[in-house]
Amino acid sequence: MNKMPKLTMTIGRDYIESNGSRTEVDEIFVRESNGKEYLIIKIGNKEDAIEIVDENTLQQDMGMMKIKFKRV
């Protein structure tokens, strides 16, 4: 099984930058639901949620797989 390539992501106050590509966002905030915290990234009327596992780990459920982001 091949390993996925390492990707980088920077979360700013009003942007997300991934591997040199910057996306401006309307809002980034934390929401609690069912005892879990989620980082919410809002662009227009669309919201994407990434679970906050701990202070150094985010996890995004993609259906058949999950992507973990670790702070470096």
Asked whether residue 4 is assigned to any structural domain, the reply reads no
Residue 5, pLDDT > 80, answer: no
SS3 at position 51: strand
Residue whose tokens read 């202070």? 55
For residue 56, give both structure tokens. 């150094």
* Residue at 6: amino acid letter: K
Per-residue model confidence as pLDDT tens digits over 13-61? 999 998 889 999 999 999 999 999 999 999 999 999 999 999 999 999 8
Per-residue model confidence as pLDDT tens digits over 60-72? 988 898 888 998 8
Tally the domains of the chain: 1
Could you count the other beta carbons within 10 Å of the beta carbon of residue 16? 17
Residue 1, pLDDT > 70, answer: no
Could you count the other beta carbons within 10 Å of the beta carbon of residue 37? 13
Asked whether residue 29 is assigned to any structural domain, the reply reads yes
**Which residues form the domain of 21?**
9-70
